[in-house]
Amino acid sequence: MAVALMASMVSAQPVQRFPGDGTGAFHTGRYHNLFVEQLGVPGDDSRRKVERAFEQLFHGDGQEQRVYFETGANDNGTLAYITDWANNDARTEGMSYGMMIAVQLGHKREFDALWNWSKTYMLTTDPGNPSVGYFAWSMGTDGTPRSVGAAPDGEEYYATALLFAARRWGNGAGIYDYQKQADIILRGMRHHPVMTATPPFRIHPGDAPFAEPATPWPSPNNRREAEEAAKAGRTWPHPRPAIVPRPVTVGPMVDEEHAMVRFVPETTIPGTDASYHLPAFYELWARWGPTEDRAFWARAADVSRDLFPKVADPATGLAPDRSNFDLTPATGWDGKPSQFAYDSWRTVSNWSVDYGWWAKDPRQRSLSDRIQRFLIGQGIDRFADRYSLDGRPMSTRHSVGMLAATAVGGLAATPGSNSRAFLQALWDTPVPTGEQRYFDGMLYLMSMMHAAGEFRIIQSRDRPLHHP
């Protein structure tokens, strides 16, 4: 057992020490390969499985397998996007996930191409748009807007991926001065001016004003949604109520008083989203980000650790999609309290990665044990992808992405039958294909990397999994 344990620990380069480092991988420089430790899988097998998943999702068949597409070039080089295939758009969530995967695995071409597309099409530069300086969260794959507002989870992953790129590859010029670009994002998240304007807005000066259509963009790829609507006698796409232009006020992406990331930076929409809380990242920002903000991010990390056990149900461990700043469930668009839904899948991964990297909060072990135990009780091969917080199923779909994120709970969970069951289920699950391969696939690949010890704090030019 001792030999197997040592073989499963992936060493990184020595790291610079700071007060309050915790006892996790940042302090030790070692990352657990859970597939080796708990399933007895050879370490080389887990690395090859990660490699194959990357190749399929980034360079596989364009119709059924991949989500990464290169689309020409500009003065900064190759352009590429990650697409939500079912909805035929590119989202800051997926673009920044793709960059994080690329830097972790040593793929500089893909990283730079995704960042170039993000800066070229998604960055709001029109000064009349109160979201100027943020990235529009959804764009058509042709570079035209689907939204003119921002979602903080994209900025969070962009900033951290750029910080890692600066350390893996060194800083280049212009948009490839990775540290400078990360600092711009991090300063904007906390110090964006409060601005008010009335739509329609533009992403870039000279664009046509953007107005949301009365009917959302249909996608020929989204067969599942169309079929479910037909069975229920509903129209698809769902028509929207008429949109009356109203002033929009946008401010920072964090609430200064509570030291919490906001659900959106629009000031009229209060509250937070537990799946946006990334204390593992905030600890790095408190060390590597703009000097004037480091104390804030250290505080935000502690606040996020305290949030998780307060918003998660004490019996099921399920966390709501949205919470008020007092940590009660926020009211959803339907007027009902927020429940465990698609965003929520990521919350268990967030606290578990924080435990693996920093090991500062022992409550995270109990949280992982709780949610894994509940979902095992629901049936590991059939639990629903949405629930009320107290455990009533709200759907009939079983999701690979939710399974994968919950398997990452093994970084914090007590080693045992439940953790092994999730790891075995993840190991046995093929790479997602077809129309739903975007969110499921991104979470699958990142979860495989976490569980294999291949998703690390990149402190220097240590050996990537792939050689560029």
Last residue of a domain, one of 261, 283, 310: 261
Domain that holds residue 160: 67-261
Q: What's residue 3's pLDDT?
A: 33
The answer as to whether 104 is a domain residue is yes
Does residue 157 contact residue 100 with C-beta atoms inside 8 Å?
yes
If asked whether residues 177 and 156 sit together in one domain, one would say yes
Q: What's residue 233's pLDDT?
A: 79
Report the 3 state secondary structure along 140-176.
Answer: ECCCCECCCCCCHHHHHHHHHHHHHHHHHHCCCCHHH
The answer as to whether 210 is a domain residue is yes
CA distances from 462 to 236, 282, 451, 453 (A): 49, 22, 19, 14
Q: What's residue 234's pLDDT?
A: 76
d(CA 346, CA 458): 22
If asked whether residues 118 and 220 sit together in one domain, one would say yes
Last residue of a domain, one of 240, 261, 282: 261
The answer as to whether 51 is a domain residue is no
d(CA 245, CA 211): 9
d(CA 162, CA 158): 6
Does residue 49 contact residue 428 with C-beta atoms inside 8 Å?
no
Considering only CA atoms, which of 278, 239, 262, 255 is closest in space to residue 150?
A: 262
CA distances from 384 to 192, 224, 350 (A): 39, 16, 20
Q: What is the pTM of this model?
A: 0.93
If asked whether residues 11 and 77 sit together in one domain, one would say no
The answer as to whether 53 is a domain residue is no
Q: What's residue 76's pLDDT?
A: 98
Q: What's residue 235's pLDDT?
A: 72
Q: What's residue 334's pLDDT?
A: 75
- Take residue 392 and report the two structure tokens written for it: 């009533």
If asked whether residues 95 and 20 sit together in one domain, one would say no
Does residue 89 contact residue 142 with C-beta atoms inside 8 Å?
no
The answer as to whether 193 is a domain residue is yes
Q: Which of 156, 343, 361, 435 is catalytic?
A: 343
Is 225 a known active-site residue? no
d(CA 408, CA 453): 11
Considering only CA atoms, which of 223, 216, 214 is closest in space to residue 237?
A: 216
The answer as to whether 206 is a domain residue is yes
If asked whether residues 170 and 284 sit together in one domain, one would say no
The answer as to whether 138 is a domain residue is yes
If asked whether residues 208 and 280 sit together in one domain, one would say no
Last residue of a domain, one of 243, 261, 279: 261
The answer as to whether 135 is a domain residue is yes
- Take residue 138 and report the two structure tokens written for it: 């959804």
If asked whether residues 342 and 461 sit together in one domain, one would say yes
Q: What's residue 1's pLDDT?
A: 37
If asked whether residues 326 and 427 sit together in one domain, one would say yes
Is 55 a known active-site residue? no
Q: What's residue 17's pLDDT?
A: 52
If asked whether residues 232 and 356 sit together in one domain, one would say no
If asked whether residues 236 and 380 sit together in one domain, one would say no
Q: What's residue 244's pLDDT?
A: 79
Q: pLDDT 10s digit of each residue in the chain, 468 long? A: 333 333 355 555 444 555 689 999 999 999 999 999 999 999 899 999 999 999 999 999 999 999 999 999 999 999 999 999 999 999 999 999 999 999 999 999 999 999 999 999 999 999 999 999 999 999 999 999 999 999 999 999 999 999 999 999 999 999 999 999 999 999 999 999 999 999 999 999 999 999 888 776 666 666 666 777 777 777 766 666 667 789 999 999 999 999 999 999 999 999 999 999 999 999 999 999 999 999 999 999 999 999 999 999 999 999 999 999 999 999 877 788 999 999 999 999 999 999 999 999 999 999 999 999 999 999 999 999 999 999 999 999 999 999 999 999 999 999 999 999 999 999 999 999 999 999 999 999 999 999 999 999 999 875 554 433
- Quote the number of domains for the chain: 2
If asked whether residues 136 and 247 sit together in one domain, one would say yes
Q: What's residue 333's pLDDT?
A: 72
Residues 6+ apart with CB under 8 A from 1: none
- Take residue 326 and report the two structure tokens written for it: 């007092």
Q: Which of 21, 37, 89, 93 is catalytic?
A: 93
Any idea what the CATH number is for the domain that residue 229 is in?
1.50.10.10
If asked whether residues 116 and 12 sit together in one domain, one would say no
